[in-house]
Structures are given as C-alpha cells and as structure tokens.
Chains A and B, each alone.
Chain A
C-alpha cells in the first residue's frame, strides 16, 4: 500500500471515531423521561397521567381552610387523572426548575394535589404550591414538571413553560380544595 493511502485511511478512521464519539448519546439519554409539553388550558396525556393546568398564580401568602403561610408562593391550579391503572397513580413528582435550580412542590399546605391519589378517567382538581425565593419571581423562564413517580426516569412528564416575571403578584391567594373536577 502506498504511504499516502495509509495516511489517508488512518486519518479517515480517526475522523470517523471522533464523529461517533460526538453522536454517541450519554448514558442518561437511555433513561430520559418522555416529555409531554403543554400550555395553560391544554390537556397533556402521558403513559398513565393526564393533566390540564388551569391557572398559575403568585402570592405573598397562601391560604386554605384557615391555614395561612407567608411565601412568596407560586400556585398551580390543575386537573389530573390517571389513564390506565390506579396502581401507584399519585402525583408524586411536581417540580419547578428555574435558572438551573429545581424546587419541589411544598408539603406544607394541609390540602394539595401533590402526592394525592388519582382516578382512572375521572379527573380531580386542586392546587399545588411552590414556596420560592424572592428572586425567582424576576425570572423569565421556569419549567413546571409533573409526573407520577418521584423518580421521573423512563416515565412520562407533563411539562409547562411559564414566565414568573409576568405573573401578577397578589397579597394572599387561596389554594383550590382538592376534589372531583366535575
């Protein structure tokens, strides 16, 4: 084999190896969640979770049934149902990601849809509340992510993009009490 042919072949192999290294998915890709993007008012359906976000509010204090807590709070009103089975069908994953930080829904409100059980085909309505640092309300992008398992890998996630800085902040907001949506 001529010398230039060997050099060309070698270079081609190195370039091919580099290309393969570039396009190889990361290990995490193999267990990535299946994201279902939604807008406010749209129904998003995943493997075993169907969600309609009906409203997003910002408030200095959150209340429900006589319970009051200073925040600030971001309150998400929603309807949620299971799709296939009621086994392990709780809204256990509810996070808000802002600027590289991820906040989990608060366990403080005595009544919230966070971690509540869902029924197949019969939606429940209610609120989930996020207790957030003040600066989050100045951000332009936050991602709300809802799922059934606290470990969201390889399952559907309903995701909504919102703009915290555009929300009208009220002094006090009441969470919806959880119940049947209709």
Chain B
C-alpha cells in the first residue's frame, strides 16, 4: 500500500482539469518518472508557483470537479512520481477518480463546508495530514492545532488501495 501522509498543497479553485495537471505536450513520455518536473505546470492560480510549491508535499486539498477533461492517467502518475498519493476534494471527475484508485492512490470526497473549513484554518500554513484507512479518518494538523475528520470510501475502492491497484485485483479475480 502507498503512503498517504505528509505536507499538504492547497489548490483553491474548482474544475482544475487534466491539461492543467499535466499538459498534453508531455504525453509523449513513455515513463511515469519523466512527468515529474511538469506537474501543474500550466495551472494559473494566484500565489501558486509550481517550481517552488510542489516539492515536499504529499497531499492535495482542492475544491470541486478536480481532474475534469482528458482521460490521461498521466495526471495521477504526475502526482504519484511527486510522492503525492492522496487528493481531497468536494468531488472528482469520473475518469480521474477511477484512475487514482486504479493506481492504488486515494481520491477522497468531503462535503463542501468541510473543505471550506480546511481552507480557512489550514491553507497558507505549514500543514500536514495523515490518512488512516483502517479507521477511515484524516488527521490534519498545523502549529498548535489538530483535528480529525472522518471520510467515506467504497469497499471496492478500499480493495484497490489495499491491492495496490486494479491490474492486481482484476488479474486475481477475472
């Protein structure tokens, strides 16, 4: 199973699409590792600098419809090779969400008001989180402040995370 804990990157916008996560011109790469320098290269977001802000992060917290657009699995791969294995959002585009779990990564959905609270209390600060799949809790903390948020995950998605991805699961079962 992958690691789902570490420092958080906040991306305060809805509808961040897969072209912004990894531009099409890099889809000519045939290894995942080659995508590493280009994650979120085309994302224009006030205060966000991809060359400085991604390094050392292990999780993303964002708004609604993250990962819309192209089916490119290069989007989760670009996150994965940057050691970001979990994205938390109000909701996700279908293909992106499926791609995350198919890779044994996590796309966790939380209510809009909870996401809003996370942005208010933690964005812009040195913030870490830890996802516990057994208890289905996220512990988020910054200097002197900590809270535990429960989340839901479908049994099938949990199986994929524990199996390490869909290829492993499907090969065993079908």
A, B assembled together: no
Please report A residues at the B interface, Cβ cutoff 8 Å: none
Please report B residues at the A interface, Cβ cutoff 8 Å: none
